[in-house]
Chain A
Amino acid sequence: MEVQKEAQRIMTLSVWKMYHSRMQRGGLRLHRSLQLSLVMRSARELYLSAKVEALDSEVSLPPALPSDPRLHPPREAESTAETSTPDGEHPSPEPMDTQEAPTAEETSAYCGPRPAKVSRKRRSSSLSDGGDAGLVPSKKARLEEKEEEEGASSEVADRLQPPPAQAEGAFPNLARVLQRRFSGLLNCSPAAPPTAPPACEAKPACRPADSMLNVLVRAVVAF
């Protein structure tokens, strides 16, 4: 349990650092983002393995009420968000290509190929608190961002159980996003990604196993 808590704490801290790094002068630093994502991955792996061990040991025990409502963020809300977001997706490869893709690279360093639907609208900086300076604007990313601003820990906590409760905490949205992303992978379902994948991960249904890092990285770097 301690291990889980520590891993949660590290993940939350990492998410906060990634968010904060967008605010600093000079823009998003690729090396720093990579290092933070590596720590996130390690924390996540540690958390998951501890969680699996805990669940194994609880198999014989009666199911306990979740002590933390954050552990059960709503699935329904997520799937709704997922289906609604692609329509408002923003940044496309085209404008970024004309810019020789520095914007794309810096802003969504770990984002996959963009979906076909493209909008050249640029989100106003006011909506992003100035923190998106380095990122390609994306309605989808924004929604994800709002989601991602919530506690990662609350989300990551419950990958293996469908979460009904409302997420709370520092970054409940991130928690939801992470869970949405990872649940499919954890269930060993390559088709797990929702039918309307977010802008930053228009991945094919079949995903290589080691893209778990990529998914995680995208989730936290996307904002």
Chain B
Amino acid sequence: MIPGIGTLTQDTLWCFSQVKGTIEIGTTEADIISTVEFNHTGELLATGDKGGRVVIFQREQESKNQVHRRGEYNVYSTFQSHEPEFDYLKSLEIEEKINKIRWLPQQNAAYFLLSTNDKTVKLWKVSERDKRPEGYNLKDEEGRLRDPATITTLRVPVLRPMDLMVEATPRRVFANAHTYHINSISVNSDYETYMSADDLRINLWNFEITNQSFNIVDIKPANMEELTEVITAAEFHPHHCNTFVYSSSKGTIRLCDMRASALCDRHTKFFEEPEDPSNRSFFSEIISSISDVKFSHSGRYIMTRDYLTVKVWDLNMENRPIETYQVHDYLRSKLCSLYENDCIFDKFECVWNGSDSVIMTGSYNNFFRMFDRNTKRDVTLEASRENSKPRAILKPRKVCVGGKRRKDEISVDSLDFSKKILHTAWHPSENIIAVAATNNLYIFQDKVN
């Protein structure tokens, strides 16, 4: 079976693989995972948390002895990426929470990733050191300078093996370019530039230059009273280095071509679906806000996530999406309560699988949903400690929307809205998914026959 392809519910059974994180009842807010990202090969999995830390897991080499178990992910490196800062000019604290992590493609032995909080983007180099020089001529083994009078022979240091040490060093810091809160970063396919987007502006950076950036989108009105929408997410096209998209709080997506002009305020394409009058409600405007936008790996489609749905758009058709999937439509009648408990402002992300045939997004009660675009089947799974036996097959869950509740179903009123899955990631080529549930990271794999 080609990984990532196949009818979702018939051929693919998802099994629990690993869970990272503690099981404490009182979760420290700093441990809440705020972003998850596989690198381009899937060998590394990075998570960022609210405490500003980045934890990188590395997949162990598959052993021939255990063919039934794919390589597990173990901690490779942990480092403090961002610290809390204070903007004295505005008397504002800048949170250290990692909003996004994006990997750069590997070009040498070291790994590079971008991590960002609300204001500052950093380029980190993660490298291994497994040798160390020994036998210095002028220094002793502890590094202290020898007395020159005692040196009678010449010694050339030699490299000797040492225990593997993984170092993370900040190579670049891209600061002071954003007035508003950064919500997205995206590495360009030229691997020389990347963009960072905040509520009103998008900046283009060169990896080598930290004291300058180009502003390529600016939707700030001259009079802030006229502000009606903000930028919510942005991403570069996977293959065309001149093309990017950004989504707005009004449910629209704009595709821009950087060749058209230096400032891409005028879009090349504008994607918007007319509002369905029958769905109009008090909170219509805020639930239409797009929380995430992702290009398909092919570059032909974009996927957007708003509060209740996931939509797939064809770049060649602007007037409506080609596919709409209901994530948790049973919440439509609960919007008032969700407004009261602030859940209506949750920003869910969405991901494609490697072959663009399946899409995945999170929901409440630690549920996450997958939609097979070919068969139109969907499945709801749960990330919970109860289903955490090794290789335990995940049982599909179902939410009862009314009437008689079956034995295995859960009613809408029983859903735990404090357990939400906002961040998920899909391995670039295999059926391995990482699901962040508050402070725990679950890794699921498809069942290997």
Contact = CB atoms under 8 A, between A and B. Distances in A.
B435 interface: no
B354 to A, nearest CB: 31
A218 B224 CA distance: 10
Interface stretch (B86-94, B203-211, B425-433): B86-94
Chain B contact residues: over half helix, strand or loop, or mixed?
Answer: loop
A125 B92 CA distance: 12
A100 B226 contact: no
Contact of B225 (A17, A25, A217): A217
A71 interface: no
A187 interface: no
Given A31-B232, A34-B230, A39-B282, A125 B179 contact: no
B283 interface: yes
B345 interface: yes
B223 A112 contact: yes
Contacts of B95: 25-26
Contacts of A29: 181
A102 B88 CA distance: 13
Chain A contact residues: over half helix, strand or loop, or mixed?
Answer: helix
Contact of A214 (B91, B225, B339): B225
Nearest to A128: B91
Interface residues of B, number: 35
B200 interface: yes
A42 B232 contact: no
B370 to A, nearest CB: 28
A26 B249 CA distance: 20
B179 A110 contact: no
B179 A35 contact: no
B224 A100 contact: no
A186 to B, nearest CB: 19
Please tell me the size bucket of the interface on A.
35 or more
A117 B180 CA distance: 28
A84 B345 CA distance: 38
Interface in B269-305: 282-283, 285-286, 289
Given A30-B200, A31-B249, A35-B289, A111 B181 contact: no
B224 A27 contact: no
B67 to A, nearest CB: 48
Contacts of B225: 110-112, 211, 214, 217-218
A99 B227 contact: no
Contacts of B227: 30, 34, 109-110
B220 interface: yes
A103 interface: yes
B147 interface: no
B378 interface: no
Nearest to B119: A26
A103 to B, nearest CB: 5
Contact of B93 (A27, A104, A113): A27
B179 to A, nearest CB: 4
23 contacts: A10-B336, A26-B97, A30-B181, A30-B227, A31-B232, A31-B289, A34-B227, A34-B228, A35-B285, A42-B285, A99-B90, A102-B90, A102-B179, A105-B180, A105-B220, A108-B224, A109-B227, A110-B227, A112-B225, A113-B223, A134-B92, A214-B225, A218-B225
Given A26-B118, A31-B232, 5 more contacts: A34-B229, A38-B286, A109-B227, A112-B225, A133-B92
Interface of B: 89-95, 97, 118, 179-181, 199-200, 220, 223-230, 232, 249, 282-283, 285-286, 289, 336, 339-340, 342, 345
7 closest A-B pairs by CB: A102-B179, A214-B225, A27-B92, A26-B95, A30-B199, A35-B286, A133-B91
Interface of A: 10, 13, 17, 25-27, 29-32, 34-35, 38-39, 42-43, 46, 99-113, 125, 133-134, 211, 214, 217-218
